[in-house]
Amino acid sequence: MAAAAAASLREEHPEGTGIPVVSDGTAAQGDGAEPSLAPLTGDAALAAERLEDLRRLQAEYVNYKKRVDRDRSVARDQGISHVLESMLPVLDEIHLAREHGDLGEGPAATIVDKLEAVLAKLGIERFGAAGDEFDPNHHEALMRMEADLPEGATTTTVVQVLQPGYRLGERIVRAARVAVADPQ
């Protein structure tokens, strides 16, 4: 029935070229052997336009989701970083207590261990140790000292950690505050 309706709309091209034309002025499709080079019209053009709009919207949505996920991750890291910065004095006191042997056994040691486990779970890492190569991106040198460095040392070396550094992932929250020695 659709073929009969399409046939009734066809007419011979006025210049006598023999190319069938649909009444809206576009070339009619042949028997299906050759693809039509005529531009899309009517409903087909509208459908193609809507399909392109949907593809563009889908791409925008994917980009939006990526941006929201990235922003959420940055906001999470910033929140953890702010909490860590406010806890640095407490963590420094814990570090000093451990160094002086004040946190041997008992309830205080258990609480400190749990606190450090929570910080590790959040991705917070303490760094800085005597013997590390001095790196100004990770260490803050507060003083220079004379020290016996290992044989063959060619770089400035951390000889004492005054306050450990903390990092969240790749971000340095606080550089390790250290004393350094130069090679002889």
Distance separating alpha carbons of residues 161 and 178, to the nearest angstrom: 4
Q: Over 90: is that where the pLDDT of 5 sits?
A: no
pLDDT in tens, 76-104: 999 999 999 999 999 999 988 888 888 87
67 is written with which tokens? 């941006």
pLDDT in tens, 127-161: 999 888 999 999 999 999 888 777 777 888 899 99
Residue whose token pair is 């770089």: 155
Q: Over 80: is that where the pLDDT of 25 sits?
A: no
Query: In the beta sheet, which residues pair with residue 161?
Result: 178
Average pLDDT over residues 167-178: 92
Residue whose token pair is 């066809």: 10
**Contact (Cβ atoms closer than 8 angstroms) between residue 142 and residue 162:** yes
Name the residue among 25, 26, 32 with its Cα closest to residue 3: 32
The three-state DSSP-derived secondary structure of 104-146 is CCCHHHHHHHHHHHHHHHCCEEEECCCCCECCCCCEEEEEECC
pLDDT at 35 (0 to 100): 53
φ, ψ of residue 4 in degrees (nearest 5):
-65, -40
Find the distance separating the first CA and the last CA of the chain, reported in whole Å.
99
Distance separating alpha carbons of residues 107 and 114, to the nearest angstrom: 11
Tell me the pTM: 0.62
| Cα→Cα distances 80→83, 95, 119, 121, Å | 5, 20, 9, 11
Higher pLDDT, 68 or 41: 68
- Ordered by where they begin, the domains of the chain are 64-181 (2.30.22.10)
